[in-house]
A = this chain, B = another copy of it.
Amino acid sequence: MTSRRGPYAKGTAKRAEILSVALEVVAEKGCHNASNREIAERVGLSQAGLMHYFGSREELYMAVLRARDERDSAAYWEPDPSFAGFLRVIENNTRVPGLVQLYVEFSAEASLGKHPAHEFFRERYEWVHQRSVESVRAAQASGEFGPHIDADLVADVLIAAADGLQQQWLLDRSIDMVARLQAMWAGMATLSRLDAEIDPVTAEATPTE
């Protein structure tokens, strides 16, 4: 059980090693200044050797991000598909600034035109969105959210706030992302409960008027 079946054992281990080193280099220099050459050197490969495992810089970075998602998903989301689970993912990101930076910069790079990672990020967004919708529905089931809320909209706002807070946090590591997300979540929850009790349509109000 120490090695997986024959021919793939080494390749798999090497791939994992590359992913980890790639993350290390990105964390130090940023996605923009991390070069295949440097990653290859640190793994003890030539640049062409690196290309054997990942056909391009984009493939490599996608793989790094995918590995992160799989790890986080297994560790936080799946055991607890609620807002609390979501918060644990964000809180954990605090320990891996390199990943956060890679995610923001690479997804921005991929957002324009026909970039090789464009589809990857679209699909990833769908996935995160669905997960978040589940969290909202769980909160509705528990009564924290009212029944009339638009779960897709809340999910979008939640993800947006989390992404934007990560951008802020990259510039200033002292900000408390979790506290801010909790405040936002509580606001949406309160609003949704009032909608249910008072008027399903009203979303704005000027009480002192």
Residue numbers of A with Cβ under 8 A of B are: 28-32, 97, 101, 104-105, 107-109, 111-113, 115, 118, 121-122, 125, 142-144, 150, 153-154, 156-157, 159-165, 167-168, 170-172, 175, 179-184, 186-194, 203-209
Contact = CB atoms under 8 A, between A and B. Distances in A.
B172 A30 contact: no
A122 B162 contact: no
Given A161-B161, A172-B122, A112 B29 contact: yes
Contact of A157 (B28, B107, B115, B161): B161
Contacts of A32: 32, 109
A101 B105 contact: no
Given A121-B171, A122-B171, A164-B164, A112 B30 contact: yes
Counting every copy of the chain, the complex holds 2
Q: Which of A31, A143, A153, A190 has most chain B Cβ within 10 Å?
A: A190
A36 B142 CA distance: 56
Given A104-B108, A187-B191, A164 B168 contact: no
Nearest to A204: B186
Q: Which of A143, A187, A193 has most chain B Cβ within 10 Å?
A: A187
B184 A207 contact: no
B159 A162 contact: no
A34 B115 CA distance: 14
Contact of A111 (B29, B167, B183): B167
Contacts of A156: 165, 168, 175, 180
25 contacts: A30-B111, A104-B104, A105-B108, A105-B109, A112-B170, A142-B206, A143-B207, A156-B168, A157-B161, A157-B165, A157-B180, A161-B164, A161-B184, A163-B163, A163-B168, A164-B164, A182-B203, A183-B191, A184-B187, A186-B191, A186-B204, A187-B190, A187-B191, A190-B194, A190-B205
